[in-house]
Structure 1
Amino acid sequence: MALCIQYAAKIYLPHRLQSLRTFVDAKIKWVRDPYLDTAVQKEKDLKQMLSLKSLILSQPSKTLPISTVSSKKNHLDLPTTASKFFQKYPSIFQQFQPTKPLSFPHVRITPHALSVHKEERAVFNSYQKDAAERLAKLLMLTRARKLPLNVIEKLKYDLGLPHNYILDLLPDFPEYFEICSMGGEDSNGGEMVGLELIYWRDDLAVSEMERMAMNFNSGYKRGMPIAFPMRLPNGFDLEKKVKNWVDEWQKLPYISPYEDAFHLSPNSDQAEKWTVAVLHELLNLLVSKKTEKDNVFCLADYLGFGWRFKKALVHHPGIFYVSNKIRTQTVVLREAFRKDFLVKKHPLMGMRLCRTGLACHSSNILRVIIRYNWHSIDLHLKARQGFKSYQVRVCF
């Protein structure tokens, strides 16, 4: 697939920190990255599993009628029926029939999955301040230092927030956050409620790019050029004129995502570098270093960037990658991965990968059972046709 992208030659206006463009057309062959696709694929159904786990454990009985889960299928974004989803992951969910007469089938968490959940809670408790600071930095990316709760809800999984962060995190940091009105109506016609950062935090207003630059160069000062790490997959070639444009673009001053640079012409190269800086910092705040593209575009509207995030994704495939795996499109920060592994893995991601290991174990059990059942049928047919009978042992 080829993308037609417009790149530019620049005329520098140093006093305004922006540049004009003379556009040229450049076709770039779009190449899928199998490693990053695998990184996305690893977390297939994980968000749904965590939501279901929280829903089940929020009940006083720690169980839930399967019919209740079925009624929330769309809200939970289940890819299949509730019963089939539970059957797919028997190491995590256990379906059972209550002893009470006329009861509907229920579901509960398996003892092994419950043990993993307790370890996950311990990780959340140990990294509460880390989670609060990441949430604070997200709010600092907005000019008003606040976001609607429904927007944060879309990002809470990738931010590594507790499922019910309003009750489990916010009360422990009253000096950071407060619930506020966003001055509009939500989709249900009620008052739109948001979360506001009470005070600006200068100590948090340092981007990951600036932190790396200061570690590398003790003489770094804010506003100096910083080049974004770029990694192109095999088979991804840039035309010479495009490569030259990117090389010059990287030499532009780096404007912090925590600064307000909306005075720049939105079509200038300098404004585009600032846009990339904001998107780059957003992905760095996420423990997964990736999120659904719809989340990025939704946040872009509240940050005031609109279509500019979309342009940044298209113009800079060496910095960002868009995967089409697991029934959606996911924006991935390339530099955060070596092949399909995170370079720096947050402890919470370690717990999630442990949970995906449980899920894979469930899928393997299911595949073995299916193979075993088909093999039993085949042996039964052979026995009826006069062949010797066989004894089959299946070990898990």
Structure 2
Amino acid sequence: MPPPPPLPSPLRRHLRWSPGAQQSRTFVDARVKWIRDRGLDHAIEKEKHLQPFHALKDLLLSSSSSPSLPLATIAARRDDLRLPFRAIRFIRLFPSAFLEEFPSQSSTAAPPRPVIRPTPELLRLHDDEQCALAACCAETADRLLRLLMLAPGRRLPLRLIDRLRWDLGLPPDYPRSLLPFYPDYFQIVPSSTAAGVDSGVLDLELVCYRKDLAVSAMEQYAMRTGGYKKGMPLAFPLQFSRGFELEKKVRKWLDEWQKLPYISPYEDGSHLAPKSDLAEKWTVGVLHEVLRLLVPKKTEKENLILLGEHLGLPPGFRKVITHHAGIFYVSNKLRTQTVVLREAYRRDLLVEKHPLMGLRYQYIHLMHKGKETGSKSKDRKRKRNASRVIDDYKIKDEDEEEEEEEEEYDDEDEEEEDEDELSAASDVDTEEEESDDEDEHSNRSVARENNLPRGGASRPVRSKKTMMMRSSV
């Protein structure tokens, strides 16, 4: 195999900038306050449980004989699937996607164990996803190739690619279904590190460097607008959360920093001083390009940290993410930190939606379809119970009434617990909704104290004695 092409020549011939200015550090290390962005947080929240749901779907449909598996097999793979709780509890959250069946039982056999099957709607979505993966095969290979081109060694550990598989939009079996079709792009080789060789770690290595693909998203946009040449200043698009304000000295530094020459992330930045403003702009460019290569334009912060170590980023590069709050947003939802590229979103929706993201949103809709139906049926049942009490004017013994209320509120607790497990995919809680919930809860408390019907009705339940007295009058 021929050696990879040499890195591009030093940037000084492209830069009309004095060496002293390139290597200087003018940023005042001021604290940049974190302000919550509800839209971007919701973009994270609505994908709750999507990855384990998708992994379970792939496991069911990977069976060669029939798309079904015993529950015991799924439970044994809980850690691999990253299920947040017990397998049966997770499966029953999504009745529109998974069916729980029991084989016929003979008189002498042991009790039957449940078998999990996909619903027809889940099978249809899976088929659409396979068609989309096949249609995007060349585009997916190009994005993976460009990620390898960002690495100075032109290779990345295969386990790191596995970690980024979901964000890169790779099929689950990409080493067999994608890589062999591009032998001039990729090859799997033993690790280049001594520790990796001893442990049998494998790397994904670049075979052919394509200069036509070594153009960043920032440069592509500038070329479309016209008049751009290598080394010219390019300003990153800035979007801030509502209520965010920069200190005056930080705003002044940011304006000057945006005027610095833009260094392509596909060029070598090792000659730049690690703590210079120009090196920081190159680092931001690398992180920006990585997020642009990902299908959802976001990823866990830990993924960026692990990847940055292989992309030649300077130590402490993670601070760059928090310094540039107008370019990156760090969400703390779903018990992890997720870095989002701000310019790729309008509120919680992607500006340019990849076909795979469209299908993932359909999976989210299917996940919530059964949940919404179950909530509506419970609401109808509560309304029927309340109407019977009002129509019949029937008073039960106090003990029976307390038992009935305890059962009803136990059902509500279970429903609220399920809602915590599966966050709504289309609504963001507002202050008005929260106040409405508090009013409804207070009405229910008053209703229980005054023996009123459920729902906070103001009409009292009349006793038989009261009704007889009124009739006699």
Q: 1:188 to 1:44 in 2, by over 3 A?
A: farther
Amino acid at match of 1:337: Y
TM-score between both structures, scaled by the size of structure 2: 0.74
Following TM superposition, by how much is the alpha carbon of 1:23 offset from its aligned partner in structure 2, in angstroms? 5.4
Amino acid at match of 1:20: S
Q: Is the CA contact (8 Å cut-off) linking 1:336 and 1:343 kept in structure 2? A: yes
The equivalent position to 1:113 in structure 2, one of 112, 119, 122, is 122
The equivalent position to 2:261 in structure 1, one of 253, 259, 269, is 253
Structure 1 position 243 matched with structure 2 position 277:
no
Cα distance in structure 2, aligned partners of 1:302 and 1:381:
68
Q: Is the CA contact (8 Å cut-off) linking 1:89 and 1:359 kept in structure 2? A: yes
User: Could you say which residue in structure 1 is the equivalent of 2:458?
Assistant: none
Q: Is the CA contact (8 Å cut-off) linking 2:32 and 2:323 kept in structure 1? A: no
User: Could you say which residue in structure 1 is the equivalent of 2:155?
Assistant: 146
Amino acid at match of 1:234: R
User: Could you say which residue in structure 2 is the equivalent of 1:4?
Assistant: none
Larger radius of gyration: 2
TM-score between both structures, scaled by the size of structure 1: 0.88
User: Could you say which residue in structure 2 is the equivalent of 1:280?
Assistant: 288
Note the 1:145-294 alignment, pairs <5 A. Answer: 145-184=154-193, 190-217=199-226, 219-294=227-302
Q: What secondary structure is seen at the aligned counterpart in 2 of 1:366?
A: helix
User: Could you say which residue in structure 2 is the equivalent of 1:88?
Assistant: 93
| Greater fraction of residues in strand | 1
Q: Is the CA contact (8 Å cut-off) linking 2:23 and 2:272 kept in structure 1? A: no
Backbone CA RMSD of aligned residues: 2.5
Following TM superposition, by how much is the alpha carbon of 1:372 offset from its aligned partner in structure 2, in angstroms? 4.8
Q: Is the CA contact (8 Å cut-off) linking 2:274 and 2:314 kept in structure 1? A: no
The one-character-per-residue Cα deviations of 1:46-98 (angstroms, maximum 9, x if unpaired) are: 11111111111111222112222222222222122111111111111112123
The equivalent position to 1:46 in structure 2, one of 50, 59, 65, is 50
Q: 1:123 to 1:23 in 2, by over 3 A?
A: closer
Structure 1 position 124 matched with structure 2 position 124:
no
User: Could you say which residue in structure 1 is the equivalent of 2:443?
Assistant: none
Structure 1 position 74 matched with structure 2 position 79:
yes
Structure 1 position 324 matched with structure 2 position 332:
yes
Amino acid at match of 2:319: K
Q: What secondary structure is seen at the aligned counterpart in 1 of 2:299?
A: strand
| Greater fraction of residues in helix | 2
Following TM superposition, by how much is the alpha carbon of 1:378 offset from its aligned partner in structure 2, in angstroms? 6.3
Identity, % of aligned positions: 47
User: Could you say which residue in structure 1 is the equivalent of 2:464?
Assistant: none
User: Where does structure 1 lack aligned partners over 5 or more consecutive residues?
Assistant: 1-11, 389-396
User: Could you say which residue in structure 1 is the equivalent of 2:33?
Assistant: 29
User: Where does structure 2 lack aligned partners over 5 or more consecutive residues?
Assistant: 1-15, 397-473
Deviates more, 1:167-176 or 1:265-274: 167-176
Cα distance in structure 1, aligned partners of 2:320 and 2:359:
32
User: Could you say which residue in structure 2 is the equivalent of 1:58?
Assistant: 62
Deviates more, 1:298-307 or 1:241-250: 298-307
Cα distance in structure 2, aligned partners of 1:259 and 1:22:
24
Following TM superposition, by how much is the alpha carbon of 1:109 offset from its aligned partner in structure 2, in angstroms? 1.1
Structure 1 position 18 matched with structure 2 position 22:
yes
Q: 1:185 to 1:192 in 2, by over 3 A?
A: farther
User: Could you say which residue in structure 1 is the equivalent of 2:353?
Assistant: 345
Cα distance in structure 1, aligned partners of 2:72 and 2:381:
28
Amino acid at match of 1:239: E
Query: Where do 4+ consecutive residues of structure 1 move more than 6 Å?
Result: 185-189, 376-385
Q: 1:163 to 1:379 in 2, by over 3 A?
A: farther
Following TM superposition, by how much is the alpha carbon of 1:373 offset from its aligned partner in structure 2, in angstroms? 5.5
Deviates more, 1:102-111 or 1:185-194: 185-194
Q: Is the CA contact (8 Å cut-off) linking 1:185 and 1:192 kept in structure 2? A: no
Cα distance in structure 2, aligned partners of 1:311 and 1:64:
46
Cα distance in structure 2, aligned partners of 1:380 and 1:309:
65
